[in-house]
A = this chain, B = another copy of it.
Amino acid sequence: MEEEGLFFNSCGNWIKNYLQQQQIQLDTFLKSEAILSSEKPIVVVTSGGTIAPLEKRLVRYIDNFSTGNRGAGAAESFLEHHCHVIFLYREGSCCPYGRFFPKHCLEILHTYSLDGDHLSDNGKLIVPFQKLAKATEQSRILLLTFQTVTEYLYALRQIALSLNPFGKRVIIFLAAAVSDFYIPESELPEHKISSTISQSHEEDEQSSQSSFLLRLYHVPKCLGWLKSKWAPQAYVVAFKLETDANVLLEKAKHTIDKYGVDVVVANELTSRYEHVQLVNQQQQVIDRYSNDKTIEQVIVQNILDMHQRKG
């Protein structure tokens, strides 16, 4: 596809270093005894928000609000179902088993530092740490990072292409909050945009000096390429997050029709920790609520069932 080529040839050499390092880690992981001797699904979980820089030397950027909780929780559940997980996440967002570390760390150390007593946390931190250490040791999880939407899309393509030989065993679980718009590298100013109007951005001649226009470009939708070219046999789970419940299901169905993904997990911003809707290729809508399990556990259980039925 022409658009694909255009996008993936538009970046400077810096992206090559980023990809090379990931490819080495990926190759090692995929050749491990743990992967080769098992038939359990290999799951790519993407997580956290991508950023769209407004300058080449990164000072300002457009960000998506995303803690990475959903992706991290889902990765934990996949691991508990004995899957192998490639966790592609935004630097600094939540990690599997590390979701509550910063908060709990501080609580625990605060208590510790004040009374000088020994560390005792009733397993809040120690147990998750041991689980993460064990999964890493057993080569059941690989952690890879991104920051910008460009890094994310290049990384996703590289991972999907590398997993293609594993065919139907692969699940791609796209929980990351990917930017919808960005400024291509060729149009980015080298330096910080001036707070008086910058040359490299559109001026608005009619209004007063107090406003200016910024030209944003739509990020290419890679879902179609993922299903048609990069990993056609993989089971692809996409996410839709909307603040307006009225348009949510319609958009979820549109994503299935247009890109051929297998399932869309539809979330409404305020209720997303209690309730999601799963839309499949038959346009069935399955409502799922968190009960005694977390919503991520419920989603993962359903996805694994659906993946197995499709087999």
Contact = CB atoms under 8 A, between A and B. Distances in A.
A145 to B, nearest CB: 15
A109 to B, nearest CB: 6
A65 B179 CA distance: 17
A62 B58 contact: no
B101 A113 contact: no
B109 A106 contact: no
A1 interface: no
Kindly state the interface size class of chain A when it binds its partner: 35 or more
Interface in A184-240: 190-193, 195, 202, 204, 209-218
Interface in A95-113: 98, 101-102, 105-106, 109-110, 112-113
B204 A211 contact: no
Contacts of A204: 215
B59 A65 contact: yes
Given A58-B65, A63-B63, A113-B130, 16 more contacts: A59-B177, A59-B269, A62-B62, A101-B105, A101-B106, A109-B129, A112-B119, A114-B130, A114-B133, A118-B118, A190-B244, A191-B243, A204-B215, A210-B218, A214-B214, A214-B215
22 contacts: A55-B243, A59-B64, A59-B177, A59-B241, A61-B62, A62-B62, A62-B63, A63-B63, A101-B102, A101-B105, A102-B102, A113-B125, A114-B129, A180-B193, A190-B244, A191-B243, A192-B241, A202-B213, A211-B215, A211-B216, A213-B213, A213-B215
